Amino acid sequence: MKLLRVLVLIALPLYCFAGSGCSSLEEVINKTIDSQVSVEEYQNLLKSYSSGPATDEAIAQLKQCFLSQSDEILTKVGTLLVTTVSSNEL
């Protein structure tokens, strides 16, 4: 299961790097750290990246991990991701 989570997270940056733009990645990141987005909504958002039930379960577990975090942690994750993306553009 952990391997599937990693593969999902790897697939999104590669998809953006391929020339489709990174608005998809930004949307997924924002939905991932948004505590108002349900697991079902999140799975629907990532449906096109899913290769079957095992991937769907990994996506659900990934979102559930973020849902169990405090708002303070989610804010820090968002800040970290912005910093990471900004430093990669330099």
φ and ψ at residue 36, rounded to 5 degrees: -85, -10
Residue 57's Cβ-count burial label (10 Å; 0-12, 13-18, 19+) is middle
Q: Above 90 in pLDDT, residue 8?
A: no
Helices 23-33 & 53-67, crossing angle to 10 degrees?
60
**pTM of the entire predicted model:** 0.65
- Given pLDDT bands bounded at 50, 70 and 90, which one contains residue 77? confident
Q: What is the pLDDT of residue 81?
A: 74
- Domain ranges in the chain are 1-86
Listed range (4-8, 11-15, 44-48) with the worst mean pLDDT: 11-15
